[in-house]
Structure formats: C-alpha cells, structure tokens
Amino acid sequence: MLPPTLLNLVLLVLLLPTTALQLRAISKPLQTAGQHLSSSGISLVELTRKLDLYGSNLSQAGADMRNAGDSISQAGVSALNKFAGESIYGDFIFTSESLRSAASRLEQEAKRDQGGKEEALRIPSAAVVALRASSDAFEGVGRLVVESLQAKTTPPMLAVRFDEAGRAMGEVGEALAGIEVAAAAAAEWGTVAQGFSLSGGKLKDAAHILSGKEPAPKSGSWLK
C-alpha cells in the first residue's frame, strides 16, 4: 500500500482537470512571452519621448502593448495555481482587448498625415492586421480555457489558438522590423520589433507543448 503522502499526491494528479495541468506546463513560456511583449511596448513609449510624440496614438499603442504583455505574464503566473481558471480567463481577455486597442491606435497613426522626422514611422497595414489577428486568437484562448476547465478536458483547439497568436505576433514583428527609422531611434525601434518576434516564438513553444510536440519545461509545485 502507498504511503499516505504519496497516495495523496497520486489522487491529486488524477483529480486535477487536464486543462489545469496543461496550463501549468506552459507557465514559463507564457511568462517569457509576456516579458518580451511588455519590453516592446515600453521601448515604443520611450521612442515617442525621443521624437517628441509622447501622448500620441503611437505612444498610447506602446502602453497598450505593455499592458498586454504584463497580462500574458500574469496568466503564466496564474497557471501555476490550479484554482485560477477564472483569473487566467480574465488575463487573456484583457490581453485581447489591449492588443485590439493597440491595433486601432496604430491604424489611426498610419492614417495621420505625417511629415519630417516622423515620416519613417509610417505603420504598415500588415502590422495592424497581425495585431488584430493576435487579439482574436487571445480572445479565443480565454474562452477555451474556461470551457476546458469546466469540461475537465483540453481541446486540441487550445494549442491551435496559441499557435495562431504566436504566428500573428511574429508577423507584427516582421512588419515593424521592415520600417526604417532614424539612427537616434534605431535601438528602441529594434526592441519594439524584436519583442513581438520573441513573444511570438514563446507562444508557439506553448502551442507545441500543448500539442505534445515539445516537452514541458520543469517548474515548481502548485502554488496555494
């Protein structure tokens, strides 16, 4: 017969919803993805300070990106708590809303009649489209998390949604990386573009873990 402590551990694992275990497995990639995106947003805000555009649509989009990144990171932390389903749902929905807001602000910036030093910062429509696609994917992730926890199953669509979000994030990075900027702003702009690409890569890692294509990184025990 198993010792009481080991028996309790076995029962805990057997009774945990599959989705909760899967989310715990992708905690680290989510936290890292969020950190990259948050850094991207912060760099965009700093860039607008340099170009005397602080408070503009571009600056507000940076704040939205930072908020989205922070929310993804929080979802990663919450994933370690087996009872945090509703919290994770809220984190992903807020991520979706923040990315959608960033897309709208970038779209407004793209339509603005720019001139002089801002001319090189014209935002390509591809970046706006990709931002909206990632927003839609995160909304889908949030809803699927709740449905999956309630049903105690993990639909393959959850991995698909993370893959879609990662791909869209990568496309935002590629679109932004193609914009030429003045030397004074090159470092910040490079971080903005790279942040999306790196975040997208981590989200795709999460998708691979969920689909069983990649082993989950080792992590600590459940948080109380």
> Domain holding 141: CATH number?
1.20.200
Cα(28)–Cα(163) distance, rounded to whole angstroms? 16
Q: What is the pLDDT at residue 2?
A: 44
Cα gap 146→85, rounded to integer Å? 6
Q: Is residue 6 part of a domain?
A: no
**What's the pLDDT at 6?**
43
Cα distance between residue 222 and residue 51, in whole Å: 46
Asked if residue 177 is part of any domain, the answer here is: yes
Residue 8: the pLDDT is 40
pLDDT value at residue 92: 95
Place of tokens 């389903």: 85
Written as one letter, the residue type at 6 is L
Please list the alpha-helical segments (H only) found in the chain.
4-15, 18-25, 27-50, 57-78, 85-111, 125-151, 156-177, 186-210
Examine residue 164 and state whether it is found in any structural domain, yes or no: yes
Q: For 30-60, how does the pLDDT look when each residue is reduced to its tens digit (9 = 90+)? A: 999 999 999 999 999 988 888 888 888 989 9
Residues of the chain below pLDDT 50: 1-2, 4-16, 116-118, 120, 220-224
Question: Residue 199 in contact with residue 36, Cβ under 8 Å?
Answer: yes
Is 220 a domain residue?
A: no
> In the prediction, which pLDDT does 11 show?
34
Task: Tell me which residue range forms the domain holding 159.
Answer: 19-210
222 in a structural domain: no
Number of structural domains, the chain?
Answer: 1
State the pLDDT at residue 31: 97
Distance CA 10, CA 4 (A): 10
Residue 60, judged by CB atoms within 10 A of its CB (0-12, 13-18, 19+), counts as buried
Helices 27-50 and 57-78 meet at what angle, rounded to 10? 160
Query: How far, in Å, CA of 20 to CA of 78, rounded?
Result: 10
Question: pLDDT value at position 76?
Answer: 94
Whether residue 10 lies inside any domain: the answer is no
pLDDT for 20: 67
Residue 142 CA: distances (Å) to CA of 138, 146, 163, 165 = 6, 7, 14, 12
167 CB-near residues (< 8 Å, 6+ apart):
200, 204
CA atoms within 13 A on the CB side of 199: 35
Q: Note whether residue 92 is domain-resident.
A: yes
Residue at 224 is within a domain: no
Q: Are 162 and 210 in contact (CB under 8 A)?
A: yes
Q: What is the pLDDT of residue 163?
A: 95
The one-letter amino acid at 172: V
